[in-house]
Structure 1
Amino acid sequence: MTLNRRSFIGAGVGVAAALGAPMVMGQGTPRVVVVGGGAGGATAARYIAKGAQGAIDVTLVEPTRTYYTCFFSNLYIGGFREYDSLGHSYAKLASDYGINVVHDWAVGVDRDARTVSLASGGQLPYDRLILSPGIDFVDGSVPGWDLSAQDTMPHAYKGGTQAALLKAQIEAMPEGGTFAMIAPPNPYRCPPGPYERISMVAHLLKQKNPTAKIIVADPKEKFSKMALFQEGWGKHYDGMVDWIGPEFGGGNVEVNPAAMTVSIDGEEMKVDACNVIPGMKAGRICEQAGLTDGNWAAVDGRTMQSRLDENVHVLGDASSQGDMPKSGFSANSQAKVAAMAVRSALTGSKMFPAKFSNTCWSLIATEDGVKVGATYEATPEKIAKVDGFISQTGEDAELRARTYEESLGWYSGITQDMFG
């Protein structure tokens, strides 16, 4: 499956035909509030506003004025992108699509009154609500670590300055120092993400600190693209990366940020930089709205509607929907299905069967790109995988270079699809 910017925008979701001229039903302009301006929320807001042509009032609530993508932040850490290249403005969503962009925190949802409360004290009424808040972290999932330690042992797993902080700490490591990663348990955002990060940290250290060591403590017996990453680490960073799975204590970890130590199965070691990626759950607003099982929000994949409230749709990382991984590509794909469903409910436009796709690219070393992906369809029970593909070990350099170039085209395409 080869994607470029143009082909990506319409790839695999089967909803573009539903976004024709609206047929307004009833009195007044229906109101949609979208919480979260990432790959799910920004895309949903844009597709609803673009297709409705003024027939739906769309408000997007997002606290940041410049959105920094979490996807591709690993390439910044590895030195393949500039930090500013990850930042994107909401200006076109407001100027070109008439979306009311509100830079504030959504702090509560009254599902009976159909209102969203803002940190500033205001309230936004809605006829349909779309929640796409991304992830928050599970308290206590890594003993010794909480959010108060994120400046000492960064997670760097939300878009923004954490990635810059982590890179600075890696670059400041002493010669021959030790970098540690505490990998997350399933399920979590971007399954290959921690291991692409290890590759990018190794690439950075190979240039600046070639005798440094990397320790990965992992509670999982296997991970996405495991054979591909391990092949790449052996080829490009021989002897630098030490992956410790649960058999050898990778799931029995404790950290001490003040002392900069990591204990793996009772054995304590001093580290010079440490990336703690905790267990994850749906962004807090989903829990505040009473839509989660304590971790994730269950949805009907045919419309991305909450299983607990038909007037609320939950997208992307926050949703529990079936077989799709939690990724930016998935959130973007789900957003188009939700946009179609919202427009159909509020204006009577035509619904088509929901179809989804996802691809996750990873960079292992210079022009050594790999990918995994699949197509999906919605059933009454879940979003179900139809077929898939994955890069193979032993591929030639030319194919790997093309895969990397493909990922660059995807990034250009998805950010344009999100922000216009």
Structure 2
Amino acid sequence: MKLNRRVFVGTGMAAASTLSAPMVHAASHGKPKVVVVGGGAGGATAARYIAKDSAGEIDVTLIEPTRTYYTCFFSNLYIGGFRDLNSIAHSYGKLASEYGINVVHDWATGVDRDAKTVSLAGGGSVPYDRLILSPGIDFVEGSVPGWDLSAQNAMPHAYKAGSQTELLKAQIMAMPEGGTYVMVAPPNPYRCPPGPYERISMVAHVLKETNPTAKIIIADPKEKFSKQALFEEGWQKHYTGMVERIGPDFGGGNVTVDPAAMTVNIDGEVVKADVVNVIPAQKAGLICDAAGLTEGNWAPVDGHSMVSRLDENIHILGDATNQGDMPKSGYSANSQAKVAAMAVRGALTGSRVFLAKFSNTCWSLIATDDGVKVGAAYEPNDEKIASVSSFVSQTGEDAALRKATYEESIGWYEGITTDMFG
């Protein structure tokens, strides 16, 4: 089935449908107030669904520092030359003009859970009756010795899309003939499990065309990774001899970097590189920790409603969560946002709340028209969100199926971004 906007939006409606009910007024006077922090796949979706389905009964404020949002999903295709940067750029205009959402372009710096307010970097605070946090990821300091955010221009992570993505592509295109690209891959768990390896595929694709004697090295602390057999099959087929992966058995987890010298030390062997893409270990976006909602690196939530296990008035979505079996992906965040939006409307207006169900698919492009995917359906129990069924592309698939899989991903992208931004 070719996935398009109509099909994609429809798949989320069973879990997100509500029936109208008399409004339950908030503890504060006037309409109930919902504040959403983070305007990505989780936050933008949640804000839109709450505003749309409450039909004006709830005041919705979305706090997001950037005026243009670049999706991390499909940013690898920009690196590979399959998309331009504008095609992954989105504005918040429709959320404000068509759905009446108060879009505040500022950083949320703290949460007063007793007073129920969110403080802003620009000064002042925003009150809420329910708060939704969808801040994505931040990086674990010191996880790659020698690298910190001050080194991200020399050794970009490009795991928050936008200027970092542009920088990494520019560095790749400027590599000398026969040069070396090194990726320091992240440990589990991290945003978009297949993402680093799709990136390797896209880097290899562009180098095969522009710099065919270049080398790609992956220093990887993980014994295995998502869709490994599919990627390795594709690298052998399309980019023979170009990609070398060094796993933990050969020192891939013992890595230090020197941004000034542009070197990577892999278990004592120093590699001089022309481009170094460092993807550090990850944790919940900083606002979760500032609000006291994390345990370890992630924010625990109840999968029935995505409500924080540490505060019943706050819901947390997407990459920042510790929720169970769902991967940290844009599709997951979008799916979780619909469940949270339904729970928030139910709590504030008395609308009907249906049993939560979730889904996810992660597509990856290996080469021209060579698309693969992995996905699952999920249901919550009292302990976690649990996988109930799954699927994955198979090695050896014919070219027509792989092309259809890629085309399906294009339809999904159009569908999810419309679902997010209107």
Counterpart of 2:61 in 1: which secondary structure?
Answer: strand
Counterpart of 1:121 in 2: which secondary structure?
Answer: coil
Please name the residue that 1:9 is paired with: 9
Please name the residue that 1:323 is paired with: 325
Please name the residue that 1:234 is paired with: 236
Please name the residue that 2:24 is paired with: 25
Please name the residue that 1:415 is paired with: 417
Distance in structure 1 (CA, Å) of the matches to 2:10 and 2:60: 22
Please name the residue that 1:161 is paired with: 163
- Mapping 1:18-417, distance limit 5 Å: 18=18, 20-26=19-25, 28-417=30-419
Asked whether the equivalents of residues 22 and 53 of structure 1 are also in contact (C-alpha less than 8 Å), the reply is: no
Counterpart of 1:15 in 2: which secondary structure?
Answer: helix
Alignment-mate amino acid for residue 131 of structure 2? L
Deviation at 1:16, TM superposition (A): 3.4
Asked whether the equivalents of residues 200 and 365 of structure 1 are also in contact (C-alpha less than 8 Å), the reply is: yes
Distance in structure 1 (CA, Å) of the matches to 2:14 and 2:188: 29
String of CA shifts for 1:24-63, please: whole Å, max 9, x gaps.
Answer: 1135200000000000000000000000011000000000
Counterpart of 2:190 in 1: which secondary structure?
Answer: coil
Distance in structure 2 (CA, Å) of the matches to 1:277 and 1:116: 30
The TM-score with structure 1 as length reference comes to: 0.99
String of CA shifts for 1:109-143, please: whole Å, max 9, x gaps.
Answer: 00010000000111000000000000000000001
Unpaired segments of 5 or more residues in structure 1? none
Asked whether the equivalents of residues 50 and 345 of structure 2 are also in contact (C-alpha less than 8 Å), the reply is: yes
Alignment-mate amino acid for residue 242 of structure 1? E
Distance in structure 1 (CA, Å) of the matches to 2:203 and 2:51: 40
Unpaired segments of 5 or more residues in structure 2? none
Asked whether the equivalents of residues 363 and 370 of structure 1 are also in contact (C-alpha less than 8 Å), the reply is: yes
Alignment length (residue pairs): 419
Deviation at 1:22, TM superposition (A): 4.8
Deviation at 1:17, TM superposition (A): 2.1
Asked whether the equivalents of residues 112 and 118 of structure 2 are also in contact (C-alpha less than 8 Å), the reply is: yes
Counterpart of 1:28 in 2: which secondary structure?
Answer: coil
Distance in structure 2 (CA, Å) of the matches to 1:183 and 1:298: 25
Deviation at 1:2, TM superposition (A): 5.1
Distance in structure 1 (CA, Å) of the matches to 2:135 and 2:370: 32
Counterpart of 1:335 in 2: which secondary structure?
Answer: helix
Counterpart of 1:154 in 2: which secondary structure?
Answer: coil
The TM-score with structure 2 as length reference comes to: 0.98
Alignment-mate amino acid for residue 16 of structure 1? A
Distance in structure 2 (CA, Å) of the matches to 1:100 and 1:184: 36
* RMSD after superposition: 0.9
Percent identity between the two aligned chains: 76
Deviation at 1:13, TM superposition (A): 6.0
Alignment-mate amino acid for residue 63 of structure 2? V
Alignment-mate amino acid for residue 63 of structure 1? P
Distance in structure 1 (CA, Å) of the matches to 2:336 and 2:273: 40
Distance in structure 1 (CA, Å) of the matches to 2:150 and 2:66: 21
Structure 1's consecutive aligned runs of 4 or more residues displaced over 6 angstroms after TM superposition are none
Distance in structure 2 (CA, Å) of the matches to 1:13 and 1:193: 27
Deviation at 1:9, TM superposition (A): 1.1
Alignment-mate amino acid for residue 216 of structure 2? I
* Distance change >3 Å, CA 15–CA 23, structure 1 → 2: farther
* Distance change >3 Å, CA 15–CA 315, structure 1 → 2: same
Deviation at 1:23, TM superposition (A): 2.4
Distance in structure 1 (CA, Å) of the matches to 2:90 and 2:206: 25
Deviation at 1:6, TM superposition (A): 1.3
Asked whether the equivalents of residues 10 and 16 of structure 1 are also in contact (C-alpha less than 8 Å), the reply is: no
Alignment-mate amino acid for residue 381 of structure 1? E
Asked whether the equivalents of residues 105 and 118 of structure 1 are also in contact (C-alpha less than 8 Å), the reply is: yes
Distance in structure 2 (CA, Å) of the matches to 1:368 and 1:222: 21
Counterpart of 1:156 in 2: which secondary structure?
Answer: coil
Asked whether the equivalents of residues 21 and 51 of structure 1 are also in contact (C-alpha less than 8 Å), the reply is: no
Asked whether the equivalents of residues 135 and 189 of structure 1 are also in contact (C-alpha less than 8 Å), the reply is: yes
Deviation at 1:21, TM superposition (A): 3.4
Asked whether the equivalents of residues 2 and 411 of structure 2 are also in contact (C-alpha less than 8 Å), the reply is: no
Alignment-mate amino acid for residue 272 of structure 1? D
